[in-house]
Amino acid sequence: MPKRQAGALLVICGVVLALVIAAVAIIGDTAAIAVGGPGYLLLVACVGLLGVGVALLSASGPIFGGTLARRALKTLAFGLVGDSVILALLSLPGFEGSNMIILFIPGSVSGWATMIGAGLTVLALVTAGGRPRKVGALFLAAPVALFAGIALENDLAGSEGASAVVAGGALLLGFVGLAWLALDSAASTVGVETAGEGDIG
């Protein structure tokens, strides 16, 4: 299986896991996603799948944009994989209490890499135009919804929770859009190669 398709599949699996986590949180309350709980382990797997999936997307030819897009995806992938590793380590007995300070620096590095990679990815998507711009708009909707919920918190009851749901949905749709761009570009590449072989024949 080509890297693009494998990466897109892993990203979609990560999105599905995120939906499962949301269902677990609703059914089992926040205790279900406490450190070491079933929801928490699903979260570790979810972030890991997204990270490895994005890494595979960045390893093949650009699915949109150019050099900026590939570097942005690589940075985002590094951050997400790092976040997954940090989350997994936090669930181990040896990293409880004061021992968590050991993970502060690597956690900060992976966290900043995720934020910078996400920002650059959105920038690359928006400047690419066409379908990528629509995917970038989905990612942009997430922070906008969060800020709107915070701003309206004092005026409308439950606005913060509703905005969090909207932001989470927009973020997941953005990842689905990223996977779709990868699958679409892979299909286009196969179509071009097939047409070239037909011309040669």
Contact 36, 160 (CB under 8 A): no
Higher-confidence residue of 187 and 100: namely 100
- N-term to C-term CA, the chain: 26
Indicate whether 183 belongs to any domain: yes
Indicate whether 194 belongs to any domain: no
Indicate whether 157 belongs to any domain: yes
What confidence score (pLDDT) does residue 96 get?
65
Tokens of residue 47, six digits: 């972030």
- Distance (Å, rounded) from C-alpha 201 to C-alpha 197? 6
- Inform me whether the pLDDT recorded for 83 exceeds 90: yes
pLDDT tens digits, 105-117:
888 999 999 999 9
Q: How far is CA 90 from CA 74, 79, 112, 114, 152, in A?
A: 24, 16, 18, 18, 34
What confidence score (pLDDT) does residue 184 get?
82
- Inform me whether the pLDDT recorded for 195 exceeds 50: no
- Distance (Å, rounded) from C-alpha 115 to C-alpha 121? 10
What confidence score (pLDDT) does residue 192 get?
37
How large a percentage of the chain has pLDDT more than 90? Answer: 36
Instruction: Supply the pTM of this predicted model.
Output: 0.83
Domain count, the chain: 1
- Inform me whether the pLDDT recorded for 145 exceeds 60: yes
142: containing domain: 3-187
Q: How far is CA 57 from CA 36, 73, 94, 191, in A?
A: 30, 8, 34, 19
Indicate whether 125 belongs to any domain: yes
Indicate whether 201 belongs to any domain: no
Indicate whether 132 belongs to any domain: yes
Indicate whether 197 belongs to any domain: no
Residue type at 68 in one-letter notation: L
What is the three-class DSSP state of 197? helix
Indicate whether 56 belongs to any domain: yes
Mean pLDDT of the chain: 82
- Distance (Å, rounded) from C-alpha 35 to C-alpha 42? 11
What confidence score (pLDDT) does residue 44 get?
92
